[in-house]
Amino acid sequence: MRWTKSMNENALRAYYRARGEETAGIAYRSRMHCFFAELEPSIPVTEQNLADRVRYIMRSKIFDDAELERLRREAIPSSNESAIAGDAAPHSTDQHPHVEAAMDLPVVVDSNDDEIVSHELEQMRSILEEAILETRSTPLKNRPRLPRIPLSKRNRAVVRALKPMLVTYLEASRDLCETDSILFGAAVAVCRIIGAKLPMAGRATTQSSAIPAWRKRIEDRIAKARALIGRLTSFRSGNNRPRIMRTVMMAFAGTNISLSQPDITQKLTERIDDLKQKIAAWGKRIRQGGSTRIVSSRVIRRGSINHWSDQRYVERAKDRIRLTLSHSGVACGQSP
């Protein structure tokens, strides 16, 4: 179907008429479709196609600002609506019309009548009220961290729909603390309506300090070593897939070991045993924690299993730690 100039004008008339009756900017497509069906009854078009066509007309600037204003005044003929359109006309000429069309998309895409629209608004109002009540009863330090919300058309429509609902709460606000709770509750309500994930209240500070950085690094090393053991074991069992071969070649990089030599199975077993010993050493370091991490890290950096049998080295290191703690005023056997 080819759109003519008169069809484009009628599409804009239906759009302006539907937008003139909608104050909150929510779900005007059904009325726009009805108005367009009255103007062009012989054109079969869906709500989505009509909305896409209006958006295309606005963005492509088929009509200039004067023609758009003329179509707007023709679409709203009554005196009251003409006054509203007259007040809004200078504002609309200052902005780009295609930007206005892009922002004024509805939240409810599949809305067929005003009952569904009112139902959605009541649901949003109940979510807002629940979020504000929860925020008032939650301490400031236990509030969840708000995520970044993308600037999409639907999210902006949700914010525009909630703005008129905040007037009642803000007028009844007694101090800045209550106003802050209302605004934060509104932000939480927006996140819940659009489906953004919110962290659990009171967990933002505990999660960051639950696992120390040194322990996280050791756990990452253990995970990588276990993954490498799995690849080496798979290659030893006869798996010659390219991904396995690349991992095995990287494991023996910098050595004179070739994958085609006869004793490659023995070399693989030695490498796997060495990784298992390192995993055991790292696990012991995690279990000990505290000041004894110094002893374990020195032994691990030496890279030889023979140092684990050198008890004198370990005992001397522990004696130095005890001596340091005693000079600092901490009794032996107690953590500083």
Same domain? For 150 and 203 the reply is yes
- Write down the pLDDT at residue 157: 86
Whether 109 maps to a domain, the answer reads no
Domain that holds residue 59: 5-103
End-of-domain residue from the set 79, 103, 127? 103
For residue 123, is it within any domain?
yes
Please tell me the predicted confidence (pLDDT) of residue 273. Answer: 93
Q: Which residue has the higher pLDDT, 35 or 20?
A: 35
Same domain, 225 and 322: yes
Are 130 and 143 part of one and the same domain?
yes
- Write down the pLDDT at residue 136: 85
Residues 322 and 220 in one domain: yes
Q: For 150, list phi and psi in degrees, rounded to 5.
A: -65, 150
Which among 103, 123, 138 is the end of a domain? 103
Q: Are residues 179 and 193 in the same domain?
A: yes
Residue 336 within a domain? no
User: Predicted confidence band at 329 (pLDDT cuts at 50, 70, 90)?
Assistant: low
Least confident of 27-41, 170-184, 224-238, 284-298: 284-298
Same domain, 162 and 258: no
Q: Please, what is the Cα angle at 270 between 266 and 271, to 5 degrees?
A: 115
179 and 221 share a domain? Answer: no
Do 125 and 183 fall within a single domain?
Answer: yes
pLDDT in tens, 265-316: 898 999 999 999 999 999 998 888 754 545 555 554 554 445 444 566 667 7
| Residue pLDDT, tens place only, 126-166 | 898 888 888 888 888 888 888 888 888 888 888 888 888 88
Considering the domain boundaries, does residue 332 fall inside one? no
CA distance 38 to 35: 5
Residues 37 and 83 in one domain: yes
Residue 69 shares a structural domain with residue 22: yes
* Residues 242 and 190 placed together within one structural domain of the fold: no
Q: Quick check: is 279 in a domain? A: yes
- Whole-number Å distance between alpha carbons of 157 and 154: 5
Question: Do residue 200 and residue 225 come from a single domain?
Answer: no
Does 218 fall in a domain? yes
Checking if the pLDDT of 216 tops 50, the result is: yes
**pLDDT higher than 50, residue 170:** yes
Question: How many domains does the chain contain in total?
Answer: 3
In-domain check, residue 335: no
Which of 208, 230, 262 marks a domain boundary?
A: 208
Cβ within 8 Å of residue 232, ≥6 positions away: 247, 248, 251, 268, 271, 272, 275
Q: Residue 67 falls within a domain, yes or no?
A: yes
Predicted confidence band at 334 (pLDDT cuts at 50, 70, 90)? low
